[in-house]
Structure 1
Amino acid sequence: MRLVQVLIPRGSRESVLESLDRQAIDYAVFEEVGRGDFEAMVQFPVPPSGVETVMEELTNAGVRGDSYTIVLPTETVVSQRLSALKERFPGLRISREELHARAEDLAPANSTFFSFLILSTVIAATGLLLDSAATIIGAMVVAPLMGPAVSASVGAILADRRMATRGVVLQVTGLAAAIATAAVLGVILQQTILIPPGVDIQAIPQVAERTSPNVLSLFLALGSGIAGAISIMRGSGSTLVGVAIAVALVPPAATSGLGIAFGLPVVAVAGAVLVVVNLLAINLSALILFYLSGFKPLDADEREGVRASIASRIAVIGVAIAVLSLVLAGVTYASFQTASFEQQTQTELQRQFDEADIEGVELVSVTVDYRPVDYLLGNQPRVDVLVGIPRDLQAPPDLAQRFDDQLTEGLDRDVVVRVGFVEAQVSDDAATRASTGAFASTSRPHTSGNRTLTGTALVSSPGAWP
């Protein structure tokens, strides 16, 4: 429930009270002596979803837009008319006045916003380099991105251009600052002993996750925007929703900055594209939900203009998302193709070994080095095959080329195959074992405890078992 307190302008007392009586609302009236242009203050309880409707009726009864109005949450209201009010105003949607106030509260001062965002980016970039999901999630708690995202949509819906402009500017400049912060941090860290020389950040799983964005990323952003709008309208869970919004924006921004610092344009561009797509999706989903919820400006003369403005804004954002989604669709298709190729390669090689059925020979492992970026750039997949053979069996010297030919014919794709061998000896009680590692250019025995390791030469080609 909400407790509404309104100052009644002089000459409007009778019409305001009659309006409340028509709406079957219990109220209390107090004489106003503090300001000469008001003659009384009336207060009354009403469900959250009814505040906007009741205030519109009071506006028609003479309450001006510049009147002093307070809306307070209440824990308990005892009234004989309360049940009828709840039936008349079901739901939990708040009024536009309350929505506007909450949106203003969520958008912090500029100094606070940029301080927390920069700190969040530093923590997120550290988590990316450490491959620590917990650290990245911790950074999201600090990021203050929910306020600008919500206030931009609320300002557009309620015709508050100042709020809408500030929300958009904070989002754009904030994320640009996040990318720059991560870039500077990456450059600094490379000059220290905290990062090993020659480290490949593309091989870090948390970074790789942000450099291969696909269409599924849109669901995170759209869901975060909808959740943000609902949390504001219902007044619950805004902190947790803010984490979800930050997850869609800060880690990709930090990834883009690290790509700049390490001289990897593919990483920088992929992270930036993901940031822009998620930002647009969050704003689009929040804007649509606020609009469908029935929020509109208090001034009736502005409603038609706002409706046209919202329609054009939704269209522009939708087109931008559609264009950028072509990139996501390309990455999604490339990811599907690389995953399919890996599965087909493993299946094909296993089939060849099963058909050969040579005693003592087994396929130990198949590793495919083929990323979506390789598919998009036309790079050849690299297939590493590890074969287990008895010590007394001579491996064919052209095995890699045979694998290469059969995979190229079977999968219709040029590949590079490397084959390594593992020699194994197993005692009768299986308690003592000796094995060898492959992918070595020379072979020599190594002794460690009761194990004897013998490496065989690597066979490679530009790869199949007979």
Structure 2
Amino acid sequence: MLHLRMIVPADRTDEAVACIEKSIGTTHLAVLPGAARDPVGDLVMCDVAREVADELLGELGELGIEKDGSISVENIDLSLSHRADQAEEAAPGEGADAVLWEHLAESTHEESTLSVTYLAFLAVATMIAACGVVLDNAILIVGAMAVGPEFGPLAGICTALVQRASRLALRSLVALLVGFAVAMALTVGFSLMMNGFNLFHDYQVTAERPNTGFIWKPDMFSFVVAVLAGIAGTLSLTSAKSGALVGVAISVTTVPAAANAAVALSYGEYAQARGSTEQLLLNLAGIILAGTLTLFVQKLLWAKQRERTAKAAARKATAQP
């Protein structure tokens, strides 16, 4: 269940309440006239099943509430209510399959913004991966994958392509390209510094490296894994199962590939740098392709779900005296 808290202009409160009352899967409706002070309006609250929340938010958005008031959505971790149980049962579909497009757009907007923190995380992750490739240490590679924040811009690009949001696409693309460029440049400097301290050696870069040599040798398995990771990552975002993102992060070699390319460049190993760059681009392409297709399929399926929801709501309205 989700909890909606709205500040509604007084002249639109009746319309907002009507939208909530006619929607199936809603309960615990409360209206506090004149309770809001900034902006001025009525405070309207209700609980809604996740399955029907996207459609309800769309209807409320058409009233201009988000422009002249506000709409806040919160997850309800525990609801001890028989009426809430009935609302969830009445809503068609499963909550885990529901997509809140407004929430997805908002979350990807935040995660795909080029910021100092984003650059710092990506640079640190790339440097950790650089240590991993030089030492041929798979544990450091996994750690670097988990630290890397690059899935945010990738998800932003996928969302922008499906929703046709050009500004989100541009913001995400800038964050992705500039982020990797800065991280790789800093890692080149880091590698030279480590070499100066006699901690990195050229023979370590040119050695066999059985644990990490795959990073600069892309093949079809790299693309397959990237596609599967893109599907899993997108599903984890749309179903609010963020814990799965950790598994996604450590299944693709984006950050390690960027790190290996930077280290190879610092030692003049251009063949490795080229192979690592190909690995990086292959993984990025696989994730974007899979993520976009996953969102597109979800959008089609959810359109059918909304039709079923509308029919159920019509039956509910007909049954009311």
Instruction: Determine if the TM-score, normalized by the shorter chain, exceeds 0.5.
Output: yes
Query: 1:226/1:176 Cα in 2 relative to 1: closer, same or farther (>3 Å)?
Result: same
Query: 1:190/1:294 Cα in 2 relative to 1: closer, same or farther (>3 Å)?
Result: same
AA in 2 matched with 1:289: T
* Counterpart-to-counterpart distance in 2, 1:180 and 1:37: 47
User: Of residues 52, 73, 98 in structure 2, which corresponds to 1:71?
Assistant: 73
- Structure with the higher helix share, 1 or 2: 2
User: Of residues 112, 122, 125 in structure 1, which corresponds to 2:130?
Assistant: 125
Partner of 1:15: 15
Return the offset for 1:131. Answer: 0.9
Partner of 1:178: 183
Q: Percent of aligned pairs with the same residue?
A: 21
RMSD: 2.7
Return the offset for 1:10. Answer: 3.3
Q: CA contact under 8 A between 2:49 and 2:91: conserved in structure 1?
A: no
* Counterpart-to-counterpart distance in 1, 2:38 and 2:197: 69
Query: 1:189/1:36 Cα in 2 relative to 1: closer, same or farther (>3 Å)?
Result: closer
Query: 1:77/1:48 Cα in 2 relative to 1: closer, same or farther (>3 Å)?
Result: farther
Q: CA contact under 8 A between 1:132 and 1:206: conserved in structure 2?
A: yes
Query: 1:260/1:126 Cα in 2 relative to 1: closer, same or farther (>3 Å)?
Result: same
SS at match of 1:232: helix
1:76-104 superposed Cα distances (whole Å, 9 cap, x missing partner): 15143642443424222241222223223
Partner of 2:305: none
Query: 1:94/1:86 Cα in 2 relative to 1: closer, same or farther (>3 Å)?
Result: farther
Q: CA contact under 8 A between 1:124 and 1:135: conserved in structure 2?
A: yes
Establish whether residue 209 from structure 1 lines up as the match of residue 214 from structure 2. Answer: yes
Partner of 2:318: none
* Counterpart-to-counterpart distance in 2, 1:59 and 1:239: 30
SS at match of 1:76: coil
User: Of residues 48, 52, 68 in structure 1, which corresponds to 2:50?
Assistant: 48
1:47-99 superposed Cα distances (whole Å, 9 cap, x missing partner): 11211111233345x35441310111112151436424434242222412222
User: Of residues 140, 144, 151 in structure 2, which corresponds to 1:146?
Assistant: 151
Within-5 A mapping of 1:450-461: none
Partner of 2:86: 83
AA in 1 matched with 2:60: L
Give the gaps of 5 or more residues in structure 2.
301-321
* Counterpart-to-counterpart distance in 2, 1:103 and 1:241: 19
Return the offset for 1:202. Answer: 4.6
* Counterpart-to-counterpart distance in 1, 2:292 and 2:284: 12
AA in 1 matched with 2:16: V
Query: 1:114/1:59 Cα in 2 relative to 1: closer, same or farther (>3 Å)?
Result: closer
Partner of 2:307: none
Q: CA contact under 8 A between 1:16 and 1:63: conserved in structure 2?
A: no
Normalization by structure 1: what TM-score? Answer: 0.57
Give the gaps of 5 or more residues in structure 1.
296-466
Partner of 1:284: 289
1:207-248 superposed Cα distances (whole Å, 9 cap, x missing partner): 421222111101121122112111111112155145236x42
* Counterpart-to-counterpart distance in 2, 1:202 and 1:162: 45
1:189-214 superposed Cα distances (whole Å, 9 cap, x missing partner): 44443345655525222442122211
User: Of residues 154, 163, 169 in structure 1, which corresponds to 2:168?
Assistant: 163
AA in 1 matched with 2:81: V
Partner of 2:319: none
AA in 1 matched with 2:130: A
Query: 1:65/1:141 Cα in 2 relative to 1: closer, same or farther (>3 Å)?
Result: same
* Counterpart-to-counterpart distance in 1, 2:174 and 2:205: 34
* Counterpart-to-counterpart distance in 1, 2:101 and 2:211: 41
Normalization by structure 2: what TM-score? Answer: 0.81
Query: 1:159/1:10 Cα in 2 relative to 1: closer, same or farther (>3 Å)?
Result: farther
* Counterpart-to-counterpart distance in 2, 1:63 and 1:270: 52
* Counterpart-to-counterpart distance in 2, 1:251 and 1:42: 49
Establish whether residue 240 from structure 1 lines up as the match of residue 246 from structure 2. Answer: yes
Q: How many residues align?
A: 294
Query: 1:127/1:197 Cα in 2 relative to 1: closer, same or farther (>3 Å)?
Result: closer
Q: CA contact under 8 A between 1:4 and 1:70: conserved in structure 2?
A: yes
SS at match of 2:42: strand
* Counterpart-to-counterpart distance in 2, 1:15 and 1:193: 71
SS at match of 1:12: helix
* Counterpart-to-counterpart distance in 2, 1:58 and 1:226: 31
Q: Which has the larger radius of gyration?
A: 1
Query: 1:32/1:99 Cα in 2 relative to 1: closer, same or farther (>3 Å)?
Result: farther
SS at match of 1:11: helix
Query: 1:57/1:170 Cα in 2 relative to 1: closer, same or farther (>3 Å)?
Result: closer
Q: Which moved more, 1:28-37 or 1:122-131?
A: 28-37
Establish whether residue 294 from structure 1 lines up as the match of residue 308 from structure 2. Answer: no
Q: Which has the higher contact order (CA 8 A, sep 6+)?
A: 2
AA in 2 matched with 1:21: E
Within-5 A mapping of 1:321-360: none
* Counterpart-to-counterpart distance in 1, 2:91 and 2:117: 42
* Counterpart-to-counterpart distance in 2, 1:41 and 1:222: 45
* Counterpart-to-counterpart distance in 2, 1:120 and 1:211: 17
